[in-house]
Amino acid sequence: MASLRKNHKGRFHIIRGRLVNGSPFEYATDIPQEPPGLSPGDPGYAAAKAELARVAQEEADDVEARARGRMEEEEHEARAKFRARKILRGSTEIPPSVFVVSWLWEHVIRNRINWTKTLFLCSLMNRLLVAVAKSRCKTIHDIRPTNFDAVVLQMRIESYSPGVVNNAIDYLNALAREIQKKTGNNLSGGLAKEATDYDERLPFTTDEIRQIFDQLPAVVGAHAAEWNLFILTMLYTEMRPSSAIMVRSKDIRLEEGVIRVISTKTQNFRNKHKWKPMHRCLLSYVKAYLEDVSLVPDDFLCKHLANMPGGSIANTFTEVLRAAKIDQRRNKGENRINAFAPKSLYSVKHTSCVWLDAAGARDDEAEEHCDSTEQAQEHYRHLAFEDAKLLEIRRRKINRMPAVDVVYLPKMKK
């Protein structure tokens, strides 16, 4: 087992271990024992010294593993990650290709990215390396924002969807931050997202939303109340259809007039939710609905829709759009390679985004802290409930959204 020489008086760590034939090895590394610029007793001295010892131990394990000639998969990943990090910590005079590939390898392993995303990242990094090679960059100091811009521009004029391009921008931003730490060059300034190409679906106009509610009873019949509540929830909370349809009775608090806004998009790795004030149109409809329908806390608000297949819901909404005579043709848009997707149920979510932006109700989204875990939500619970002034400010912003007054019709008692 590789180890570090104890009580060594030199400047650098000395690693020791055994080769495959059993013979010992021992040599000095270039990793100092004492943290540069720190003295015993300084804040952070102990942590910095422990980090240097850990790095030296990683190098010792790497040398011993390479001497044995074969490794388990987990150990191979650990050694590969160590070598990539060693390059990233090393001299900034290395070629861009070495730095980029090292960052990519370490990033993929650290975040356990699946193979499809890894292939996408490899293709993206290849594009960047081609752009860098054309500029004849010899070290990462020579990389400029124009190299990153060239990659994004090329992807935008090809047949890539806006979502793919924006994912690429996120990855390039992460790499740019890593290069900036080494060189001081600000490379991410030119990677701003273009709002005109960001969304793939067109929102509904306010008149079209009212036409949809007018035609709902004729198309869906006895389930009109659930459909009205379903669409109102999406319209005034910005939730996706798959999230809005899963809202339960316990997600409504009529006393405070708030609703739990959940996200099914991030539920696999983060239980993301927020409590937000309800728009007056949604609040009045929910009150009338809950007075007429008996539900326990775990019941879905829209019981019938929650048990319908997603395809059936989408097809029914398409019939509503036909009845409302709403144009569903694709719109090319200005400076777009691909046309917008036709208007669909998901377009209600995009309509909500447009309305919330116009009302200024998303200005304070960056200040939300109760969107990750139950502990965090409970810790910042005062933001939503105990601070009445803050709650009222948010409610006023949300109530600036266009009002779509839908009258709840009680069920006929048998």
- The CATH number of residue 261's host domain is 1.10.443.10
Whether the CB-CB separation of 156 and 197 falls below 8 Å is answered with yes
Residue 87 in any domain: the answer is no
Estimate to the nearest angstrom the gap between the alpha carbon of 178 and the chain centroid. Answer: 19
Asked if residue 111 and residue 34 are part of one domain, the reply reads no
Longest dimension (CA), the chain: 92
pLDDT, residue 377, reads: 43
pLDDT, residue 194, reads: 47
- Domain boundary at 197, 221, 251, which? 197
Side-chain half-sphere exposure of 291, counting CA atoms within 13 A: 10
Residue 410 in any domain: the answer is no
Distance CA 45, CA 38 (A): 6
Asked if residue 43 and residue 22 are part of one domain, the reply reads yes
Whether the CB-CB separation of 376 and 390 falls below 8 Å is answered with no
DSSP per residue, 224-287:
HHHHHHHHHHHHHH---HHHHTT-BGGGEETTTTEEEEE-SSSTTT---EEEEEPPHHHHHHHH
Residue 347 in any domain: the answer is yes
Asked if residue 214 and residue 260 are part of one domain, the reply reads yes
Residue 80 in any domain: the answer is no
Asked if residue 106 and residue 36 are part of one domain, the reply reads no
Return the bridge partners of 260, or none: 275
Asked if residue 130 and residue 234 are part of one domain, the reply reads no
Residue 255 in any domain: the answer is yes
Is pTM beyond 0.75? Reply is no
pLDDT, residue 216, reads: 93
Q: Which residues of 25-63 are buried (b: 16+ CB within 10 A; e: fewer)?
A: eeeebebebebeeeeeeeeeeeebbeebeebbbbbbbbb
pLDDT, residue 130, reads: 92
Distance CA 260, CA 252 (A): 7
Residue 375 in any domain: the answer is yes
Residue 409 in any domain: the answer is no
Asked if residue 351 and residue 225 are part of one domain, the reply reads yes
Residue 229 in any domain: the answer is yes
Asked if residue 284 and residue 385 are part of one domain, the reply reads yes
Asked if residue 354 and residue 308 are part of one domain, the reply reads yes
Estimate to the nearest angstrom the gap between the alpha carbon of 214 and the chain centroid. Answer: 36
- Domain boundary at 197, 226, 243, which? 197
Asked if residue 384 and residue 265 are part of one domain, the reply reads yes
Tokens for 126, please give them: 């290849």
Q: What is the pLDDT along the chain (414 residues), one digit of tens a residue?
A: 677 777 677 788 888 877 777 777 777 887 888 888 888 888 888 888 888 888 888 777 777 776 666 666 666 677 777 777 777 777 788 889 999 998 888 888 777 777 888 888 999 999 999 999 998 998 889 988 888 888 888 887 776 666 777 788 888 888 988 888 888 888 876 676 543 444 456 788 899 999 999 999 999 988 999 999 999 999 999 888 988 998 999 999 998 888 988 776 544 434 456 788 899 999 999 999 999 888 999 999 999 999 888 889 999 999 999 999 887 766 665 555 556 677 889 889 889 888 888 887 666 554 443 333 444 444 444 444 456 777 788 888 888 888 998 888 876 444
Whether the CB-CB separation of 231 and 213 falls below 8 Å is answered with yes
Asked if residue 136 and residue 283 are part of one domain, the reply reads no
Number of structural domains the chain divides into: 3
Distance CA 205, CA 272 (A): 29
Asked if residue 264 and residue 118 are part of one domain, the reply reads no
Asked if residue 117 and residue 63 are part of one domain, the reply reads no
Which residue range(s) make up the domain with 140?
96-197
Whether the CB-CB separation of 189 and 145 falls below 8 Å is answered with yes
